[in-house]
C-alpha cells in the first residue's frame, strides 16, 4: 500500500463542472512524482485533497494508512504543501517567525519549536536571515523559506504546486536543489508543473492530467513522448531524440 | 518593492536588544507618561539620554530624519498653531497675526514632547523584533478574560506582514493604470472606481490565499505560547528607571 492512496476521487466546485473525475492513484514512499497538465486540468485541486483543504464529493483519500477526513490535522502535518505564490504563503513578519508558525500550531514545547526552526533554516541555508523581514527576501529565498516552514512540521510528503513559476535561473536552481534534498531524505515528493524541462530528469514517475482525469501514468521515458497531446510542452532534448540532461549542476 | 524602513527592526546584539520586551514596553510607557508632564529641564535631560541611546544603538540619524519628514511637517504645524492661538505677551504683532511669547514656549514644549515620544518609539521598534512585540502583547492580554489573545497576536503578525505586500500591490496597480493612460481621465470618481476595484479584488484574493496557507499549516487558536524571560538585570533596569522618572516627575 502506498503512502498516498486515492480511490474514485470526484470533486466539483459549487455550481461548476467536475474538476476531478474518478481519479485513482497510489504513490509509494520516497518517490518523486511529477504531475503535469495544462491549466485547469485539475492538478492543484488534486493536491488540495491530500491535506484536506478540499474534501471530495465522493471517493477516498488515504494518507499513510488513514483517511484524511478522519483526522485532517494529522493529514496537514504529514503533507507539507508549497503553494504557487510563495508570497501569499508567508505568514510571519520575520523569517524565523514564519518558520515557527507551523510548529507553534502543533502546540509543541517552545524549546522544541526553537530547535525545529533552527534545523529547518539550516536545511535550506537561511540561518543568517532568521531576523530578516520576509518582504525583503528575493523570489528564490521566499520559496526556500516556504520549504523551511514545511520542513519544520516534519512532513512525510511534500507537495509543490508550480514551484518554478516566476523564478529566475538561480532561484530555480535553489528550489530544484531543495526538492532533490527532500527526495534524498526519503520523503515522498509531488511536483505539479507544465514546464517539464527542469524536473523531468529527476522524476521517478510522470502523471499527465487532462480535464480532471489521469490520462497517462508511468516512467517518464515512456510517457514524455505523448505529453504534447495534452497541452504540455515536451522537453527540448526529448523532442530532438536526445537523452534529457540534468537541469541542476 | 514597497518597503517600510522607519520604525522597522534592525537586528543587533546590544544590551537594549537583549532586554526583555515586556520591560522595554513598560519603560516606553513610563518614559512617555513622564514626558507628558515634564518641564524644559527634565525634557533636556531626557533628550540627552535619548541622543546617547540613539548613538549607542548606531541608529542612522540622517535617514531617520528623512523617513520622519512628514512627521516633522506635523510638528511645525503644531508649533505654528500653538504660537498663533495662545494668548500672552506679544512677541510679533501685525495687523492680522499676533504671536505671543507664551505661545512660542508652549508650542516648543509640545513639539519637544511629541518628538521625544516618537524617537523613543523608534528606538523601541529598532531594537525589538516584531515577533517579540507580538509575544509581549499576547502576554499582557493574559489576565483579561474572554479575549482571544492568540488570535489577536496572529492578527498583529498578519498586519505587519501584509502592509508591505499591500503597498507593493498598490504601487503595481497604480503603475498598470498609468501605463494605460488613466492620467488622461480627469474625473476623480472614475479614476477612484477604476483603481479601487482591481486593487480591492487583489487584496481580498491575497487574504484568501493566505488563509488557505495558514489552514495548510494547521492554524488554530490553540497554539504554543511564546517564550518570554526577564532576567534580574531587566528587573533592576526597570526599577532604577521607575525611581528615576518618579524623581523627575516630582522635581
The 10s digit of each residue's pLDDT in B149-184 is 888 888 888 887 788 788 888 888 999 988 888 888
Beta bridge partners of A57: none
Do residue B213 and residue A83 have CB atoms under 8 angstroms apart? Answer: yes
Residues of chain A with pLDDT > 90, as a percent, come to: 69
Chain A residues with CB-CB distance to B134 below 8 A:
93
CB B235, CB B23: distance < 8 Å: yes
Closest residue in A to B158 (Cα–Cα):
A91
Calculate what percentage of chain A has a pLDDT beyond 70. Answer: 99
pLDDT digits (tens, 9 = 90+) for B181-221: 888 888 888 888 989 999 999 889 988 998 999 999 999 88
B171 touches chain A (CB under 8 A): no
- What pLDDT is recorded for position A249? 63
In the DSSP assignment, the letter for residue B19 is S
* Average pLDDT of span A39-45: 93
> What is the DSSP-derived secondary structure letter of residue A133?
B
What local confidence, expressed as pLDDT, does residue B6 receive? Answer: 58
pTM of the full structure: 0.80
Task: Determine how many CB atoms are found less than 10 A away from the CB of residue A145.
Answer: 26
Any idea which residue has 471517493 for its cell?
A59
Cβ pairs bridging A and B (under 8 Å) = 101
Q: Is the CB of residue B10 less than 8 Å away from at least one CB of chain A?
A: no
Q: What is the pLDDT of residues A199-239, one digit of tens each?
A: 999 999 999 999 999 999 999 989 988 899 998 988 888 88
Q: Does residue A194 contact residue A38 with C-beta atoms inside 8 Å? A: yes
The predicted structure's pLDDT at residue B34: 87
- Neighbour count for residue B101 (Cβ, 10 Å): 14
Q: How confident is the model at residue A29 (pLDDT cuts 50, 70, 90)?
A: very high
**Mean pLDDT of the region B123-135:** 85
Q: Check pLDDT > 80 for residue A247.
A: no
Confidence category of residue B2, pLDDT binned at 50, 70, 90 = very low
* A interface with B, Cβ–Cβ below 8 Å: 51, 53, 73, 76-77, 81, 83, 85, 87-94, 96-97, 100-111, 113-114, 131-136, 149, 153
pLDDT in tens, A45-61: 999 999 999 999 999 99
Pinpoint the alpha helices (H) of A59-165.
Answer: 72-78, 95-105, 110-123, 139-151
Residue B210 near residue A88 (C-beta atoms within 8 A): yes
Q: Which chain A residues are within 8 Å of B164, Cβ to Cβ? A: 133, 135
Nearest to A88 among B210, B220, B225 (CB): B210
Q: Where are the beta strands (DSSP E) in chain B?
A: 90-93, 98-100
Q: How near does any CA of chain B get to the CA of A226, in Å? A: 34
Chain B residue with CA closest to A102: the answer is: B217
Nearest to A205 by CA among A190, A193, A222, A219: A219
Residue B5 has pLDDT above 70, yes or no: no
CB spacing of B161 vs A91 below 8 angstroms? yes
- pLDDT-based confidence at residue A92 (cuts at 50, 70, 90): confident
SS3 B167: helix
The residue assigned the cell 467536475 is A18
Whether the per-residue pLDDT at A125 is higher than 60: the answer is yes
Amino acid at each position: 500500500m502506498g503512502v498516498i492512496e486515492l480511490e474514485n476521487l470526484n470533486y466539483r466546485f459549487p455550481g461548476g463542472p467536475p474538476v476531478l473525475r474518478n481519479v485513482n492513484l497510489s504513490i509509494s514512499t520516497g518517490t518523486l512524482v511529477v504531475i503535469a497538465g495544462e491549466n485547469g486540468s485539475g492538478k492543484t485541486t488534486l493536491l488540495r485533497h491530500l491535506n484536506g483543504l478540499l474534501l471530495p464529493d465522493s471517493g477516498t483519500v488515504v494518507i499513510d494508512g488513514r483517511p484524511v477526513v478522519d483526522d485532517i490535522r494529522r493529514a496537514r502535518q504529514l503533507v507539507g504543501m508549497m503553494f504557487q505564490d510563495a508570497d501569499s504563503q508567508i505568514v510571519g513578519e520575520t523569517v524565523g517567525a514564519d518558520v515557527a508558525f507551523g510548529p507553534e500550531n502543533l502546540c509543541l514545547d517552545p524549546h522544541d519549536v526553537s530547535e525545529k526552526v533552527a534545523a529547518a533554516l539550516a536545511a535550506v541555508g537561511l540561518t543568517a536571515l532568521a531576523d530578516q523581514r520576509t518582504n525583503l527576501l528575493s523570489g528564490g529565498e521566499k520559496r526556500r523559506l516556504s520549504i523551511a516552514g514545511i520542513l519544520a512540521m516534519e512532513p512525510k510528503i511534500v507537495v509543490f504546486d508550480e514551484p518554478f513559476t516566476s523564478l529566475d535561473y538561480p532561484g530555480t536552481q535553489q528550489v530544484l536543489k531543495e526538492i532533490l534534498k527532500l527526495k534524498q531524505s526519503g520523503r515522498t515528493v509531488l511536483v505539479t508543473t507544465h514546464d517539464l524541462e527542469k524536473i523531468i530528469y529527476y522524476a521517478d514517475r510522470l502523471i499527465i492530467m487532462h480535464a480532471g482525469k489521469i490520462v497517462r501514468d508511468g516512467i517518464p521515458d515512456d510517457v514524455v513522448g505523448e505529453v504534447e497531446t495534452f497541452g504540455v510542452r515536451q522537453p527540448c532534448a526529448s523532442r530532438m531524440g536526445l537523452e534529457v540532461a540534468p537541469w541542476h549542476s | 518593492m514597497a518597503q517600510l524602513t522607519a520604525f522597522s527592526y534592525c537586528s543587533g546584539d546590544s544590551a537594549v536588544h537583549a532586554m526583555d520586551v515586556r520591560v522595554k514596553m513598560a519603560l516606553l510607557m513610563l518614559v512617555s507618561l513622564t514626558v507628558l508632564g515634564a518641564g524644559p529641564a527634565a525634557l533636556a535631560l531626557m533628550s540627552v539620554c535619548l541622543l546617547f541611546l540613539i548613538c549607542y544603538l548606531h541608529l542612522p540619524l540622517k535617514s531617520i530624519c528623512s523617513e520622519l519628514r512628514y512627521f516633522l511637517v506635523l510638528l511645525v504645524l503644531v508649533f505654528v498653531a500653538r504660537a498663533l492661538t495662545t494668548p500672552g505677551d506679544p512677541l510679533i504683532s501685525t495687523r492680522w497675526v499676533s504671536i505671543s511669547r507664551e505661545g512660542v514656549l508652549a508650542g516648543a514644549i509640545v513639539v519637544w514632547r511629541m518628538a521625544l515620544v516618537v524617537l523613543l518609539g523608534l528606538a523601541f521598534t529598532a531594537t525589538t523584533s516584531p515577533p517579540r512585540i507580538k509575544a509581549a502583547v499576547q502576554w499582557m492580554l493574559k489576565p483579561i478574560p474572554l479575549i482571544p489573545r492568540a488570535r489577536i497576536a496572529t492578527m498583529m503578525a498578519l498586519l505587519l506582514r501584509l502592509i508591505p505586500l499591500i503597498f507593493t500591490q498598490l504601487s503595481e496597480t497604480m503603475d498598470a493604470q498609468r501605463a494605460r493612460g488613466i492620467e488622461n481621465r480627469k474625473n476623480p470618481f472614475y479614476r477612484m472606481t477604476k483603481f479601487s476595484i482591481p486593487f480591492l479584488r487583489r487584496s481580498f484574493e491575497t487574504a484568501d490565499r493566505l488563509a488557505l496557507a495558514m489552514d495548510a499549516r494547521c492554524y488554530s487558536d490553540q497554539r504554543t505560547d511564546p517564550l518570554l524571560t526577564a532576567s534580574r538585570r531587566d528587573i533592576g533596569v526597570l526599577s532604577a528607571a521607575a525611581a528615576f522618572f518618579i524623581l523627575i516627575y516630582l522635581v
